Amino acid sequence: MKNRLKVLRAERDWTQADLAQQLDVSRQTVNAIEKGKYDPSLPLAFKIAGLFKMTIEEIFQDES
């Protein structure tokens, strides 16, 4: 799944660790999501969307 997480994070000058702390996940989880190696659970996707004040669809796009 493609996502804009890295761009959104960079726009706010947040490190992966900063974002991970706000989402209550590990930095490795943030890294894996940004690289498309891990798709977040639905509750985590909602948490990410809420943090950035966007919809899930604005952040995550299906690659198929």
Listing DSSP states for 18-52 in one string gives HHHHHHTS-HHHHHHHHTTS-PPPHHHHHHHHHHH
Specify the number of domains making up the chain.
1
Report if residue 62 sits inside a domain: no
Report if residue 64 sits inside a domain: no
Residue 24 has pLDDT above 80, yes or no: yes
C-beta neighbour count of 57 within 10 angstroms: 10
Report if residue 25 sits inside a domain: yes
Report if residue 6 sits inside a domain: yes
Residue 58 has pLDDT above 80, yes or no: yes
Report if residue 19 sits inside a domain: yes
The two structure tokens encoding residue 49: 């969307």
Report if residue 60 sits inside a domain: no
pLDDT above 70 as % of the chain:
98
Report if residue 61 sits inside a domain: no
pLDDT above 90 as % of the chain:
94
Domain holding 24, by residue range, is 2-55
